């Protein structure tokens, strides 16, 4: 598993959302080094959000993974995911947060069983 979850104030056309889901999934698999078969991508668009107390295009990206994350990987993910998000949503990097969480295998389950 990795999970990449984007929340954005932008309302995206279905075709843009579908492409963005695929692009985020592929980027996470490639950069983290996990099979894409285990990656889940989620896009919640049209979310009520403020950044610095102001409305406008903004985004929050959360990436979770069992292993594979760390300073170098997180930096590469931040750049690539940021590029994808800005291109699809119009939310500039200065109005986008990204967070990375390494999850213990015992705290993540799939098909009724934890990974560890």
Domain ranges of the chain: 2-103
Helix, strand, or coil here: 112?
coil
> What pLDDT does residue 13 have?
98
Q: What is the pLDDT of residues 6-59, one digit of tens each?
A: 999 999 999 999 999 999 999 999 999 999 999 999 999 999 999 999 999 999
pTM equals 0.94
Residue 91 phi/psi, 5-degree rounding, is -80, 115
Question: Please, what CATH class does the domain formed by 2-103 belong to?
Answer: alpha beta
């Amino acid at each position: 598993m990795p999970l990449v979850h984007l929340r954005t104030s932008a309302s995206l056309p279905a075709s843009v959302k579908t492409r963005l889901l695929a692009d985020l999934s592929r980027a996470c698999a490639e950069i983290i080094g996990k099979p894409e078969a285990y990656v889940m991508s989620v896009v919640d668009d049209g979310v009520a959000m403020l950044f610095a107390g102001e409305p406008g295009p903004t985004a929050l990206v959360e990436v979770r993974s069992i292993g594979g994350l760390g300073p170098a990987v997180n930096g590469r993910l931040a750049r690539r995911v940021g590029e994808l998000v800005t291109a699809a949503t119009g939310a500039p990097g200065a109005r986008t947060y990204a967070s990375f969480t390494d999850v213990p295998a015992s705290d993540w389950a799939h098909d009724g069983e934890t990974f560890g």
